Amino acid sequence: MSRASGPTRHASRSLPDTAIDWLGSDRHGANVLTAARTLLALEGALQKVLPPGLGQACRVARMENRQVTLAVPSAAYAARLRQLAPRTVAQLANSGWNLTEIQVKVQAGLLQSRMNTSRPKQSIPLDSQALDAFRGLHENLRPGPLADAVARLVARHGRA
């Protein structure tokens, strides 16, 4: 009588514990892992040579034939990146990357996925002197959006 076969763990042959172990366990997976590490390393190099806001917003989408394709969240990022492309290619070449051209593709959803992973906003509570100053400001403001905003600020920080 034969048993139903399924994944079993043998003492002589252990299964990979993580996805990275699994990817590295065969030739095709190792190639995928190497490509992913290369793209991540290039992203890190780009973040060092690009202005901070631009470097954080762009992602390396592909690297082939000495050409890198970068994904950005909007046309404004794309325009700025295209302006900086010659200088960026030169800086990357000086740091050992064998690249001659940068292509830019706009991917609108890119920024929103980055927004969800940002750290929570930190606020410093206002002390009594600051609260008194904002209360005085509120009393001297004409009714309107600014007065409403100052009132909300005083109410929120006055509870603490």
148 or 4, which is more confident: 148
pLDDT tens sequence across 74-107? 999 999 999 999 999 999 999 999 999 999 999 8
39 or 7, which is more confident: 39
* Whether residues 34 and 94 fall in one domain: yes
Q: Which domain holds residue 58?
A: 19-115
* Whether residues 105 and 135 fall in one domain: no
* Whether residues 102 and 137 fall in one domain: no
Beta strands in 91-133 (DSSP E): 101-106
CA distance 126 to 160: 9
pLDDT tens sequence across 2-30? 444 444 444 444 555 666 666 666 777 77
* Whether residues 154 and 85 fall in one domain: no
125 or 115, which is more confident: 125
CA distances from residue 10 to 1, 18, 160 in whole angstroms, order as listed: 21, 17, 59
* Whether residues 85 and 150 fall in one domain: no
* Whether residues 110 and 132 fall in one domain: no
CA distances from residue 75 to 43, 54, 79, 80, 110 in whole angstroms, order as listed: 19, 12, 6, 9, 12
The token pair at 49 is: 């040579």
What pLDDT, on a 0 to 100 scale, did the predictor assign at position 14?
53
* Whether residues 111 and 141 fall in one domain: no
* Whether residues 59 and 135 fall in one domain: no
Please state whether the predicted TM-score (pTM) of the whole model is above 0.95.
Answer: no
* Number of structural domains found in the chain: 2
For the domain that residue 37 is a member of, what is the CATH number? Answer: 3.30.300.180
